[in-house]
Amino acid sequence: MNKAIFWDLLGTLGGASRSLLTEDFQLFKQAIPALRAATQKGYLNIIVSNQSQIAHGLMSLEDFNAAFFKLLNFLHAQGVMITGVYVCPHRTEDNCICKKPQPYFIEQAINTYQLKRQFSYVIGDSWANDMVLAKNTGLNSILVLTGEGVNSLMVARENWQDAQPTHIAKDCLDALAYV
């Protein structure tokens, strides 16, 4: 049985939600134990991230790729396995098919890795992107209270009837208690 955790990157595993992924990006201290715990529980770790700053010209695709490659190498050196990475570089106004909460990348991963939806999760800090993505793909969801999480909990809660998280966790490691 294949199951996955679809991790948001910025605000969930490290950095601020609306920051740039640069070569000095810092993971939250809970990120590596969380990613390791997910693997130990039999989950594939898959990162799904919106990176519109590329389309907005705030960073080049080459700079993003260099920073991301450095992050993946660091994770690998820490014994963390990342099975897949899906990144949307577009702006909202581009109306692409890959920007969260569109289901495109999740559907690709489900088909590629033959994942079971009922055992897979989206873990993220954004109601509008991550919790709605989980709803759009029929996955479980965990809202973490890092990054935009508190704002999603307090301000966006009026919209939750459309996409309520399965669980709420204080951070990415705490989220693993629910999977």
The residue ranges of every structural domain in the chain are 3-178
Amino acid at 34: A
Looking at the DSSP bridge assignments, the partners of residue 3 are: 43
Judged against a pLDDT cut of 80, whether residue 67 lies above it is answered with: yes
pLDDT in tens, 127-169: 999 999 999 999 999 999 999 999 888 877 777 777 889 999 9
pLDDT for the residue 19 = 76
- Binned at pLDDT 50, 70 and 90, residue 16 comes out as confident
3-state secondary structure of 120: coil
pLDDT in tens, 68-109: 999 999 999 999 999 999 999 999 999 999 999 999 999 999
Q: Which architecture, in CATH terms, is 3-178?
A: 3-Layer(aba) Sandwich (3.40)
pLDDT average, residue stretch 39-58: 94
Give the pTM. Answer: 0.95
Tokens in use for 47?
Answer: 């990162």
Q: Which of the pair, 154 or 44, is modelled with greater confidence?
A: 44
Half-sphere exposure for 54 (CA within 13 Å, toward CB): 20
Whose CA is closest to 4, among 117, 125, 80?
A: 117
Tell me which H or E stretch contains 145.
none
